[in-house]
Amino acid sequence: MTGDIRRRLEACWSRSDEIFDLLEPGALLDQPVALRHPLIFYLGHLPAFAWNQVCRGALDRPAFRPDFDALFERGIDPMGVDHYESAAEWPPISEIIDYRDRVRHELLTAIDEVADRAAEDPLAEGGRIFEVAIEHELMHQETLQYLFQQLPFDRKRRPQAMAPYRFDGATPPAVVEIGGGGVVLGADSSAGDFGWDNEFPQLEVSVGDFAMDRTPVRNAEFREFVADGGYSRAELWGDDDWRWRQRIGLELPIFWSHDNGSLTYDTLFDRLDLGVVRDWPVYASHAEARAFCRWRGARLPTEAEFHRAAYTTPSGENRRYPWGDSAPSPSHGNFDFHHWSPTPVGCLPGGDSAWGVAELVGNGWEWTDSVFAPFPGFEATIRSYPGYSADFFDGLHRVMLGASWATPTQLIRRSFRNWFQRHYPFMFAKFRCVRGR
């Protein structure tokens, strides 16, 4: 166990360092998304979280920078506002880096000590507390990408290994009939596999017959919605969604822009003509996705319907992944920074589900219309972080499933649940339409 945890920690840190190295000097103090802290917070948050969970939480080690442990302990998810003004006086970057490096050293020295406590502490057993720290950092590697997305192009640097954009090979639009039946949500805690508290316990439910779009909605399809006045037709939006759209003046998806009379699309590093990326999935908020579905006479899938289409077979079997039980690879989908951008929808058919639905994992998280809520029998099992999920069981967040191009492979598992506010448009989040009961 010791060697594996060390290897994975160091690999995780290496990627985080590479991601921060994408920033030009001075950009750490930028606040590209007004609902989130300036970027410098995340430089300190990743080590602070790991320290607070492992060294302080599991091992009760004395703090060497208690001020940093508190300052960087937790991010924000402000409700009912459209911006957050950071009032903190941020420490010098050099001090934060020294803190990060000291925490990393302490974590490596803690591996054997945690293993010695496995018999008396469930979070120490199998190094589970290190899984908490590692997966938290993996999640924030993606968070940083969508924050960087909102930075001006001259505030960041293209990675040397970035592949050329892909524009060909999209799967044509189609509708797939999905037969009703049983669905397994969540995970079995007795199996011993790591999961966050909202993934447990396992829950079996049933869904009726429904029809699902074979591919996510692409930019070209959403452009038709825009051209038909979708952003000006209140009847397509829920009342709260409409007030939000009016308040912030939203008229296009956040990744689109008007540029000299043309519509353009911003990637992380370039501005492209929207026509060139017509077959890439549109990234949108839950509110925009739901308005589009209503315009089309459809709706978003439920969490259970997504699972039915992704992880079951017409013969009634359950799969680990949409494509079967083999580990995720680049042939199965656009994830784990293979492309650093979206790709045409369905261009990797090796990831198709048994029903023939394309791209249920990769290229963007997928919105469902299910409220993020606990499964019956839920317990907050991480004693050092009891509010990880429970703080968001507020009826205001919706479940997202699958993965994006910036989702590390370790987070791709059937039971993993992501969630965001309905009016948060910055994530790499796509959607597809369903029809039926």
* pLDDT tens column, 187-225: 998 887 899 999 999 999 999 999 999 999 999 999 999
Residues of the chain with CATH 1.20.120.450: 2-155
Beta bridge partners of 176: 212
- Assign domain 2-155 to its CATH superfamily: dinb family like domain (1.20.120.450)
Residues 317, 321, 325, 329, Cα dihedral to 10°: 160
Question: Taking residues 235-248, what's their average pLDDT?
Answer: 97
Strands 262-266 and 271-273: antiparallel
CA-to-CA distance for 403 and 238, rounded, in angstroms? Answer: 27
**What integer pLDDT is reported at residue 87 of this predicted model?**
64
Show Cβ contacts of residue 172 under 8 Å, excluding neighbours closer than 6 positions.
Answer: none
pLDDT level of residue 81 (50, 70, 90 thresholds) = low
Residues of the chain with CATH 3.90.1580.10: 166-437
Q: What is the pTM of this model?
A: 0.96
Question: Taking residues 406-420, what's their average pLDDT?
Answer: 97
Amino acid at 404: S
* pLDDT tens column, 361-385: 999 999 999 999 999 999 998 888 8
* pLDDT tens column, 288-313: 999 999 999 999 999 999 999 999 99
Residues 30, 140, 307, 302, Cα dihedral to 10°: -40
CA-to-CA distance for 259 and 249, rounded, in angstroms? Answer: 17
Question: Taking residues 94-112, what's their average pLDDT?
Answer: 97
* pLDDT tens column, 47-71: 999 999 999 999 999 999 999 999 9
Residues of the chain by 3-state class (helix, strand, coil), percent to 5? 35, 15, 50
**What integer pLDDT is reported at residue 194 of this predicted model?**
92
Q: Per-residue pLDDT for 1 more than 60?
A: no
The region that residue 377 occupies, defined by phi over 0 for left and psi between -120 and 50 for alpha, beta otherwise, is left
Q: Per-residue pLDDT for 83 more than 70?
A: no
* pLDDT tens column, 393-404: 999 999 999 999
**What integer pLDDT is reported at residue 33 of this predicted model?**
95
Q: Can you tell me which residue has the tokens 């001020």?
A: 67
Give the N- to C-terminal CA distance of the chain in Å, as an integer.
48
Q: Per-residue pLDDT for 84 more than 80?
A: no
Backbone phi and psi for residue 19, each to the nearest 5 degrees, phi listed first:
-70, -45
CA-to-CA distance for 351 and 366, rounded, in angstroms? Answer: 15
Sign of the dihedral through C-alpha 144, 149, 151, 155:
positive
**What integer pLDDT is reported at residue 74 of this predicted model?**
87
Closest CA to 366 of 284, 274, 437, 299: 284
**What integer pLDDT is reported at residue 64 of this predicted model?**
97
Query: What CATH number should be reported for the domain whose range is 166-437?
Result: 3.90.1580.10
